[in-house]
Amino acid sequence: MGLLTALEGGYGDRGDAVVMDGRSSSWEGLLGAAGAVAERAAGATALAVLARPTLETVAAVVGGLLAGVPVVPLPPDSGPKERAHILRDSGAALLAVGGEDADTDPTEAGAGIGLLPVDLAARAGAAAPAAAEPTPDTTAFVLYTSGTTGAPKGAVIPHAAVAADLDALADAWQWTAEDTLVHGLPLFHVHGLVLGVLGALRTGSRLVHTGRPTPGGYAGARGSLYFGVPTVWSRLAADHGAARELGAARLLVSGSAPLPVPVFEQLTALTGRAPIERYGMTESLITVSTRADGERRPGSVGLPLAGVRTRLVGEDGGAVPHDGESVGELQVAGETLFRGYLNRPDADAEAWTADGWFRTGDVAVIGPDGFHRIVGRASVDLIKSGGYRIGAGEVEAALRDHPAVADAAVVGAPDGDLGQVVVAYVMADGPVTGEQLTAFVAERLSVHKRPRRVVLVPELPRNAMGKVLKKQLLDLG
Ligand code: MLC
Ligand code: AMP
């Protein structure tokens, strides 16, 4: 049996598997459409999927996985610069598109890339040879994620890591086929796609995707298990009526960024349910979580999942005690880890320790009871806004492409709604407005990477080495 045990294992008589974009698909229908994709994709180097939140996207992703072809989700709002990088770097031979994108001009996909229109009514041909079962070591995904500098890096994630992570989460959250999972997260990241789609198809729980993660959408969906990023939970906590509706749910799960303690408390008061908080990364999948049957402590992400090991390392490379006070860089090891970055031996060399642990770049504290608290990031150049990871360097490079920009420095400023917002400090040498620069970035990269605020400055503060002093910029406001 492959990765999607419930889907492949005959849940065909249990009604709707997935409700998304106002339509629904049975387990059998989804498997049929995915089988047709698998038939077309078999043998391809990689299958890129234009990842709108639609049933076609789900069928395309499942089809790629069934065929043992690496799936490369493409953010639907990514501009030409980001899209060209992902398609070129991943070596994708095919781009799966659904419904509204089916008549995309093939030249738009890029030279040598074929379009694979996804048809939900399609079924694999009767004569189709059964696809050889992908081995655990087969690449499931190449997920593009931002580093501090440069273009996004492709994290290579094997089937075995996804399976191990979903099973560990099912154990921690008592997640079963009896659940109805609800979320409205994007389908091109770990949270919305790996947990939010494959988790349902592996456990056999029904999935209701709300399109966008709005309080009203969540309240109306009547699920037992809800996923959200902290921005979603803080917007929900501000809508008392919607929040109370979620009191009927079994588990509310927050992740992708720190859940502020006041939001944890408001949510608990309004729903009668203390949220589960869990921690993860694209590269490691989810590694630490509180448990359905355990304590849920505000400000804490809980304990390592089954199969995951964690440790804290100090700046001198020495072990940091798990005393609930000492901070160190969090390093992780275990079955859920990615294999490395595609085409980036330099990034691999930085990310892995000599003894095989992955450096998360997050700074944490571990208590004597094993509970983990994430206290920040080692670099100011990785920004988390609305749960999206945004590299300051990539936004700076996009700004510098503008003819009126002499130089730019990007920081993440604290924000009550999004956690952090992207703020750009720009030295201009021509006439340009902040709105124009925001639109310029939104057109080239994914829309969520656009600066929400642009400050035109005569000079950027620098140290003696010429390095921009980002902490000083943050103090400027
Ligand atoms: C706005 N829009 C623009 C624009 N400005 N379009 C073009 N140009 C501009 N200048 C449009 C957008 O396309 C969008 O359209 C709409 O305006 C609103 O977009 P937004 O302003 O970006 O929405 P916002 O309210 O900021 O979104 C908040 C949010 C979102 C919470 C809904 O940030 C979100 O979905 N976050 C989830 C991130 C996530 O899943 N992270 C997981 C990473 S995995 P339209 O048409 O779309 O409405 C990970 C591992 C782990 O971290 O641990 O989980
Ligand atoms: P991404 O690669 O988009 O998956 O982002 C991973 C990063 O999100 C981590 O390195 C953390 O900085 C952050 N993150 C994820 N979950 C949490 C959490 N529960 N608390 C704090 N930070 C988190």
Q: Which ligand is nearest to the CA of 228?
A: 1
Q: How far is the CA of 74 from the centre of ligand 1 (A)?
A: 15
Q: Cα(338)–Cα(464) distance, rounded to whole angstroms?
A: 39
Burial of 392 from C-beta contacts in 10 A (0-12 / 13-18 / 19+): buried
The pairs formed by 16-20 with CB atoms below 8 angstroms and a separation of 24 or more are: 16/206, 17/200, 17/201, 17/206, 17/207, 18/55, 18/58, 18/197, 18/200, 18/206, 18/207, 18/209, 19/206, 19/207, 19/208, 19/209, 20/53, 20/54, 20/55, 20/58, 20/207, 20/208, 20/209, 20/211
**Non-local CB neighbours of 436 within 8 Å, separated by 6+ positions:** none
pLDDT of residue 123: 84
CB of 387 shorter than 6 A to ligand 1:
yes
Alpha helices (H) in 256-325, listed in sequence order: 261-271
Q: Which ligand is nearest to the CA of 451?
A: 1
Burial of 154 from C-beta contacts in 10 A (0-12 / 13-18 / 19+): buried
Digit-coded pLDDT (tens) for 264-273: 999 999 999 9
Q: Looking at residues 137-151, what average pLDDT do you find?
A: 94
Q: Which domains does the chain have, with CATH numbers?
A: 5-195 (3.40.50.12780), 386-476 (3.30.300.30)
**Ligand 2 proximal residues by C-beta, below 6 Å:** 145, 189-190, 255-258, 277-282, 301, 360, 362, 374, 377, 384, 389
pLDDT of residue 130: 57
Q: How far is the CA of 448 from the centre of ligand 1 (A)?
A: 5
Of residues 120 and 123, the one with the higher pLDDT is 120
Q: How far is the CA of 213 from the centre of ligand 1 (A)?
A: 10
pLDDT of residue 64: 97
- 3-state secondary structure at position 121: coil
- Cβ density class 421-455: b for 16+ within 10 Å, e for less: bbbbbbebeeebebeebbebbbebbbebbbbbebe
pLDDT of residue 154 exceeding 60, the answer is yes
Name the residue of 277, 377, 390, 448 to mutate for ligand 1: max ligand atoms within 8 A of Cβ.
448
Digit-coded pLDDT (tens) for 411-438: 999 999 999 999 999 999 999 999 999 9
Digit-coded pLDDT (tens) for 463-472: 999 999 998 9
What is the share, in percent, of the chain residues with pLDDT greater than 70? 96
CB of 77 shorter than 6 A to ligand 1:
yes
Hey, what are 342's tokens? 């595609």
> Which of 14-18, 162-166, 213-217, 220-224 is predicted with the least confidence, judged by mean pLDDT?
14-18
Q: Cα(477)–Cα(274) distance, rounded to whole angstroms?
A: 34
Q: Which ligand is nearest to the CA of 290?
A: 2
pLDDT of residue 5: 81
What residue's CA is closest to ligand 1, atom 33?
386
Q: For 127, phi and psi rounded to 5 degrees?
A: -90, 0
Hey, what are 457's tokens? 């400055």
pLDDT of residue 214: 98
pLDDT of residue 50 exceeding 90, the answer is yes
Name the residue of 143, 190, 229 to mutate for ligand 1: max ligand atoms within 8 A of Cβ.
229
Helices then strands, each counted (H, E), the chain: 15, 25
Q: How far is the CA of 256 from the centre of ligand 2 (A)?
A: 4
Q: Looking at residues 135-158, what average pLDDT do you find?
A: 95
What residue's CA is closest to ligand 1, atom 48?
212
Q: How far is the CA of 382 from the centre of ligand 2 (A)?
A: 10
Residue with tokens 């924000």: 415
pLDDT of residue 7: 80
CB of 439 shorter than 6 A to ligand 1:
yes
CB of 21 shorter than 6 A to ligand 1:
no
Instruction: For residue 99, name the pLDDT band (cuts at 50, 70, 90).
Output: confident
Digit-coded pLDDT (tens) for 125-134: 765 555 568 9
pLDDT of residue 2: 79
What residue's CA is closest to ligand 1, atom 37?
387
Residue 369: DSSP 8-state? T
pLDDT of residue 12 exceeding 60, the answer is no
pLDDT of residue 51 exceeding 70, the answer is yes
Ligand 2 atom closest to residue 382's alpha carbon, by position in its atom list:
12
Nearest Cα to 213, choosing from 231, 191, 188, 237? 231
Instruction: For residue 104, name the pLDDT band (cuts at 50, 70, 90).
Output: confident
Residue 410's DSSP bridge partners are 424
Q: Cα(250)–Cα(256) distance, rounded to whole angstroms?
A: 20
Residue 468: DSSP 8-state? B
> Which of 87-101, 211-225, 412-426 is predicted with the least confidence, judged by mean pLDDT?
87-101
CB of 199 shorter than 6 A to ligand 1:
no
Q: How far is the CA of 440 from the centre of ligand 2 (A)?
A: 27
**Non-local CB neighbours of 21 within 8 Å, separated by 6+ positions:** 52, 53, 54, 55, 209, 211
CB of 434 shorter than 6 A to ligand 1:
no
pLDDT of residue 82: 93
Instruction: For residue 409, name the pLDDT band (cuts at 50, 70, 90).
Output: very high
What is the share, in percent, of the chain residues with pLDDT greater than 90? 88
Q: Cα(9)–Cα(27) distance, rounded to whole angstroms?
A: 10
Q: Which ligand is nearest to the CA of 447?
A: 1
Helical pair 434-444 and 392-400, crossing angle rounded to 10 deg: 110
CB of 256 shorter than 6 A to ligand 1:
yes
Digit-coded pLDDT (tens) for 84-93: 999 999 999 9
Q: Cα(229)–Cα(247) distance, rounded to whole angstroms?
A: 18
Q: In angstroms, how far apart are the furthest CA atoms of the chain? A: 70
What's the distance, CA 167 to chain centroid? 18
Q: Cα(410)–Cα(322) distance, rounded to whole angstroms?
A: 34
Q: Looking at residues 388-409, what average pLDDT do you find?
A: 97
pLDDT of residue 106: 66
pLDDT of residue 476 exceeding 90, the answer is no
